[in-house]
């Protein structure tokens, strides 16, 4: 065993030392695999960023309540008397004014074009109250001021302001029934609400001629109070509602797009990986042919065929790993933190989010690269081991 390991080390070191002399052909593997890994990691980081944006929205001690059987906020309807029952249910914390810290909200969609474009996109308009900053303390006004109750004024999420046109303070935006004035910008630590426009719920109801909320969001006494709160609502004959913890609800809204992007990422990587695999095969076959005399000489002086096979595979893995690291580095430099917006098919609205190139995605990229390198080096390695010693030495 020790002798085999020494032989593998010696042959592998010889192979790697010869890489600079055939740098051009070796770079075919490195660059080809770097392209595969770069695309794979970039697409998966898009899915990861979208998933994290929704998964980090909300707190476990807050609940969102919708009409029973509703899939999302847009399809839910709660009449005012039903919303009041939800707000007064046991387990809801009190606000600074001594009243239940719960808000009935109206969820609507408006059309706004992205910056530099003319095609309109669906953007969420959330009718809420000035108490929303107490209910969601992670949200802070960072520019301008909060909207005035009963007035057609808008505060916009920081991410929405970056992605969509006409959302600077003082701009007019068509929310419902005419223009509304942007008076403030809020930051909510990059969660999904930063892609929204917030307006006064009563003003929005008047403008849209609506008399019902879509949902109620409630601050609970603690995260442990959720079960009792949910049981109190489901057993109350006055309402037919369903309650979810905020993080659970928003995480469920990312499933469809996350799956689509992930499938797309791996599909593209497979197609590109096939091309990179053929490049690796050609390169390693050429490397074996170039060093056929060296390999035959080593076997003639006592080196086994096993160490030769392993050394060729290790060379292919080393080049592939270098390509994987390079591709991951490119994805991290150019895409990590890059902000885009995409249509969430489960809510029919645009959600702005950042690409997240996380360590586990980089590891996936390197593993993917090594897989290509292993397949690309296996057949040339077997050929090297089977190379007739006499024929190789005569060709010298």
Domain boundaries, the chain: 2-55+255-394, 69-239
The residue-averaged pLDDT of 343-370 equals 80
Q: Is the pLDDT of residue 14 over 50?
A: yes
Q: Helix (H, G, I), strand (E, B), or coil: what is residue 162?
A: helix
Q: Is the pLDDT of residue 333 over 80?
A: yes
**Tokens, residue 232:** 């109190």
Parallel, antiparallel, or unpaired for β 179-187 and 153-157?
A: parallel
Of 26-30, 39-43, 69-73, 198-202, the least confident: 26-30
Q: 61 near 222, Cβ under 8 Å?
A: yes
**How many residues belong to the chain?**
396
CA separation for the pair 26, 48 (Å, rounded) = 33
Write down the residue that tokens 């990587």 correspond to.
269
CA neighbours closer than 13 Å in the CB half-sphere of residue 46:
20
Q: Judge contact between 366 and 72, C-beta under 8 A.
A: no
Report the candidate in 80, 70, 112, 79 with the shortest Cα–Cα distance to residue 196. Answer: 112
Which range has the top average pLDDT, 9-18, 208-217, 272-281, 365-374?
208-217
Higher-pLDDT residue of 10, 377: 377
3-state secondary structure of 108: strand
Cα-Cα-Cα-Cα dihedral sign, residues 27, 33, 35, 38: negative
For residue 105, pLDDT beyond 70: yes
Return the pLDDT at 127: 95
What is the average pLDDT score of the chain?
A: 82
- On whether the CB atoms of residues 167 and 112 are closer than 8 A, the answer is yes
Between CA 192 and CA 8 the distance in angstroms is 54
Q: Rounded to an integer, what distance in angstroms lies between the CA atom of residue 74 and that of residue 171?
A: 26
Q: What is the pLDDT of residues 290-329, one digit of tens each?
A: 556 566 666 666 565 666 667 777 777 888 888 889 999 9
Q: What is the pLDDT of residue 222?
A: 93
pTM of the model: 0.74
Rounded average pLDDT over 248-274? 76
How many Cβ atoms from other residues are within 10 Å of residue 28's Cβ?
17
Query: What is the structure's pLDDT at 150?
Result: 92
For residue 167, the model assigns a pLDDT of 93
**Residue 298 pLDDT:** 60
Q: What is the dihedral of CA 37, 42, 46, 48, to 10 degrees?
A: 40
Whether residue 389 has pLDDT greater than 60: no
pLDDT confidence tier of residue 120, bands split at 50, 70 and 90: confident
Cβ distance 29 to 319 under 8 Å? yes
Q: What is the pLDDT of residue 12?
A: 63
d(CA 381, CA 336): 38
Please write the tens of the pLDDT for every residue from 28-53: 778 888 888 888 888 888 888 877 77
CA distance 109 to 123: 6
So what's the pLDDT on residue 44?
Answer: 86
Task: Give 197 or 306, the one with higher predicted confidence.
Answer: 197
The pLDDT assigned to 295 comes to 61
Which pLDDT score, from 0 to 100, does residue 396 have? 47
Given a cut of 60, whether residue 390 has pLDDT beyond it is no
And the tokens for 383? 């050929």
């Amino acid at each position: 065993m020790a002798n085999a390991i020494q032989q593998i080390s010696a042959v592998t070191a010889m192979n790697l030392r010869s890489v600079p002399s055939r740098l051009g052909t070796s770079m075919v593997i490195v660059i080809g695999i770097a392209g595969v890994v770069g695309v794979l990691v970039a697409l998966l980081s898009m899915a990861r960023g979208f998933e994290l944006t929704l998964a980090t929205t909300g707190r476990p001690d807050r609940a969102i309540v919708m009409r029973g059987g509703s899939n999302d906020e847009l399809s839910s309807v709660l009449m005012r008397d039903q919303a009041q029952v939800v707000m007064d249910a046991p387990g809801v914390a009190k606000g600074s004014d001594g009243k239940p810290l719960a808000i009935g909200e109206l969820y609507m969609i408006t059309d706004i074009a992205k910056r530099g474009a003319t095609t309109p996109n669906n953007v969420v308009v959330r009718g809420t109250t000035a108490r929303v900053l107490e209910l969601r303390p992670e949200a802070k006004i960072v520019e301008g001021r909060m909207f005035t109750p009963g007035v057609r004024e808008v505060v916009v999420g920081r991410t929405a302001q970056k992605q969509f046109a006409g959302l600077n303070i003082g701009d007019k935006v068509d929310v419902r029934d005419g223009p509304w004035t942007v008076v403030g910008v809020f930051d909510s630590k990059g969660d999904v609400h930063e892609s929204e426009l917030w307006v006064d719920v009563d003003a929005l109801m008047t403008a849209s001629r609506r008399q019902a909320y879509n949902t109620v969001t409630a601050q609970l006494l603690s995260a442990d109070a959720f079960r009792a709160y949910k049981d109190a609502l489901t057993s109350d004959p006055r309402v037919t509602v369903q309650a979810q913890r905020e993080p659970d609800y928003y995480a469920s809204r990312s499933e469809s797009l996350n799956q689509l992007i992930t499938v797309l990422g791996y599909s593209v990587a497979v197609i590109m990986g096939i091309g990179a695999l053929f490049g690796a095969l050609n390169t390693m076959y050429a490397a074996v042919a170039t060093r056929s005399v060296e390999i035959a000489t080593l076997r003639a002086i006592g080196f086994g065929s096993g160490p030769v096979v392993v050394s060729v595979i290790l060379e292919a893995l080393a080049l592939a790993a270098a390509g994987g690291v390079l591709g991951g580095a490119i994805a991290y430099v150019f895409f990590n933190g890059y902000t885009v917006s995409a249509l969430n098919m489960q809510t029919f609205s645009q959600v702005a989010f950042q690409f997240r190139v996380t360590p586990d995605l980089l590891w996936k990229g390197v593993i993917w690269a090594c897989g290509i390198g292993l397949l690309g080096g296996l057949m040339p390695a077997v050929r090297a081991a089977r190379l007739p010693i006499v024929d190789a030495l005569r060709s010298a």
